[in-house]
């Protein structure tokens, strides 16, 4: 099963490789990983998307918690979190296709951020499934390049983890 895990870590030298090394060393999967500082400068937040059965997920969260630089681990269950991902998509756009690309961009409330006579570069934001959907529609037109951030997630409701 797919899980999205937020990990609050000390913003220290080498912490990313400690986390990445834990996943590779113990044979856990990483689908995506994103990391950046939080409200508090000394704390970074990682969002990791991983897969595994309950026993593996239990090990992943426990092993993450065991790392000395890890402050908190939150395993989001689907409903309790909002997830967003951004994709930058360079797509071939010539002749009649130019209008079709713009229509798709419009439907998905994406933005064109760079234009050439032969291509558009699109910025799309949304849940991972929305990103999949726009890619699905753009693919027949010719994808030239794709960059995805991987999802970031935040819990629903008023409660917040400052760090």
State the residues that interact with other proteins by CB under 8 A. Answer: 9-10, 13-14, 17-18, 21, 25, 55, 58-59, 62-63, 65-66, 68-71
Q: Which is nearer to other proteins, 59 or 111 (CB)?
A: 59
Q: Which is nearer to other proteins, 69 or 97 (CB)?
A: 69
Q: Which is nearer to other proteins, 10 or 83 (CB)?
A: 10
Q: Which is nearer to other proteins, 117 or 160 (CB)?
A: 160
35-71 b/e (C-beta count within 10 Å ≥ 16 → b): beeeeeeebbbbbbbbebeeebbeebbebbeebebbb
């Amino acid at each position: 099963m797919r899980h999205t895990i937020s990990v609050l870590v000390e913003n220290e030298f080498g912490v990313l490789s400690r986390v990445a090394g834990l996943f590779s060393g113990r044979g856990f999967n990483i689908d995506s990983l994103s990391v950046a500082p939080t409200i508090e400068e000394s704390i970074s937040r990682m969002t990791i998307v991983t897969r595994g059965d309950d026993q593996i997920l239990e090990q992943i969260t426990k092993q993450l918690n065991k790392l000395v630089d890890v402050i908190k681990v939150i395993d989001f269950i689907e409903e309790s979190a909002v997830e967003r991902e951004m994709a930058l998509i360079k797509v071939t756009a010539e002749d009649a296709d130019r209008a079709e690309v713009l229509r798709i961009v419009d439907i998905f409330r994406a933005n064109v951020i760079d234009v050439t006579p032969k291509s558009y570069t699109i910025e799309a934001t949304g849940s991972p499934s929305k990103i999949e959907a726009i890619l699905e529609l753009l693919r027949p037109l010719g994808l030239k390049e794709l960059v995805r951030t991987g999802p970031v997630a935040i819990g629903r409701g008023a409660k917040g983890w400052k760090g």
